[in-house]
Amino acid sequence: MTDTTAPAPSRTARPAARRGLRDRLRGRGKLIVGLVIVSSIVLFALLGPLLSQDPRNSDNPAMLPPQPGHWLGTTSLGYDVLAQLAEGARGSLLVGVVAGLLAIVLSLVFGVVAGYSRGWTDEGLSLITNVMLVIPGLPLMIVVSSYLSVRSLLVVALILGATAWPGAAVVLRLQSRSLRNRDYVSAARVAGEKTPRILMVEILPNLLPLLTAQFLFAVVLAILGEAGLSYLGLGPNGSITWGTMLNEAQGGGALTRGAWWWFVPPGLMIALLGCALSLINFSIDEIVNPKLRSAPAAARSVRKARAEGRDITVQDDDEADAPTADSPTVTVDGTADPDSEKERVQA
């Protein structure tokens, strides 16, 4: 009778797998911390309103400090601060994500299409981008919001997204203009491929890390912009966000009455989410540009050598990273550059 039992894994397989996971996570502390904080805030926004009381319940005693039953105290109208904080997390995250998506779509149209195209298309889209770039964003948002009598969360998100794309469009335009001159893109044009397919298949995959970083930056700007508008009384009507909580705390005299539990939690959540998204953004920058990842270790080595009195010469990065004719382009992780790999396959 044939034995069909699967062979048991060797004793060295599991330690090797754990070492591989540790190697992959080594040097990604900022990314891990950022993801943990963002995941915790998203989980709090999803489950918090289900586990807390109605954020508009005014039957509670007013101006209670943090205590059992009201872990973050109450407002001057008797609202539970913890319930409002959980409900406000949903509103702020919704505004940030919608505004970030809109900003990325507009920056793709005005950046990638303009960078790949030439002639009137490039000049027209670049003119609109430059005009939007010189218009101050916050005053424009204040003017637009002040003319709207009804401002929902979606309307505020659209206003923020429509004013947050010019900077990203400039970066994407320069990058797509550089990719346009690559050999594999020229080969696709010679092969008769349509422009939309070249943009979607040849250009956009190389821009994904940059698009992710620009999206996170747009989300941070949108959440801060919504908080600023709400603090000025121009935020969403009838909705609860961290910004509207700050506005109500300012109107209720929380600072003069010493009710720190009213304005500190929403301000702390805004700062915490902004820091977490910035950490993720920095980690993506280090993945895209390996020089940023190796720079701190190189600086520490130089300082240590100088402290030991050794005579060292710092080599210029451009000279050190200049590729030679017989050396293939290899990333820090030891894998071949996808662009050079693609060119070699097509050749």
Domain boundaries, the chain: 40-294
Report the pLDDT value the prediction gives residue 233, as an integer from 0 to 100.
Answer: 85
Burial of residue 147 (number of CB atoms within 10 Å: 0-12, 13-18, 19+): exposed
DSSP string of 160-194? HHHTS-HHHHHHHHHHHHHHHTSHHHHHHHHTT--
Helix (H, G, I), strand (E, B) or coil at 313: coil
CA angle 68, 79, 60 (to 5 degrees): 60
> How many other C-beta atoms can be found within 10 angstroms of the C-beta atom of residue 267?
14
Helix (H, G, I), strand (E, B) or coil at 150: coil
Q: What is the largest CA-CA distance in the chain?
A: 85
Q: Please name which of 175, 134, 281 lies closest in space to residue 221, comparing C-alpha atoms.
A: 281
Q: Which two tokens stand for residue 188?
A: 């696709």
CATH class of 40-294: mainly alpha
Report the pLDDT value the prediction gives residue 290, as an integer from 0 to 100.
Answer: 67
> What tens-digit pLDDT sequence spans the chain (347 residues)?
444 455 555 555 555 555 555 666 566 788 899 999 999 999 999 999 998 899 999 899 999 999 998 999 999 999 999 999 999 999 999 999 999 999 999 999 999 999 898 888 889 999 999 998 888 777 888 888 888 888 889 988 998 999 889 999 999 999 999 898 888 888 988 888 888 899 998 899 888 888 988 899 999 999 999 998 888 888 888 889 999 999 999 998 898 888 999 999 999 999 999 999 999 988 887 777 766 666 666 676 777 777 777 766 655 554 444 444 444 444 434 444 445 444 444 44
Cα four-point dihedral sign 12, 13, 18, 19: positive
Q: Residue 315 has what DSSP assignment?
A: P
Q: Please name which of 265, 262, 263 lies closest in space to residue 64, comparing C-alpha atoms.
A: 262
Report the pLDDT value the prediction gives residue 2, as an integer from 0 to 100.
Answer: 46
- The structure's pTM equals 0.76
Q: Residue 314 has what DSSP assignment?
A: P
Cα–Cα distances in angstroms (integers) from residue 175 to residues 19, 23, 172, 344, in the given order? 37, 31, 5, 22
Strand (E) or helix (H) holding 45 = helix 29-51
Report the pLDDT value the prediction gives residue 21, as an integer from 0 to 100.
Answer: 55
Report the pLDDT value the prediction gives residue 234, as an integer from 0 to 100.
Answer: 86
Q: Please answer whether residues 199 and 207 qualify as being in contact, where contact means their C-beta atoms are separated by less than 8 angstroms.
A: no
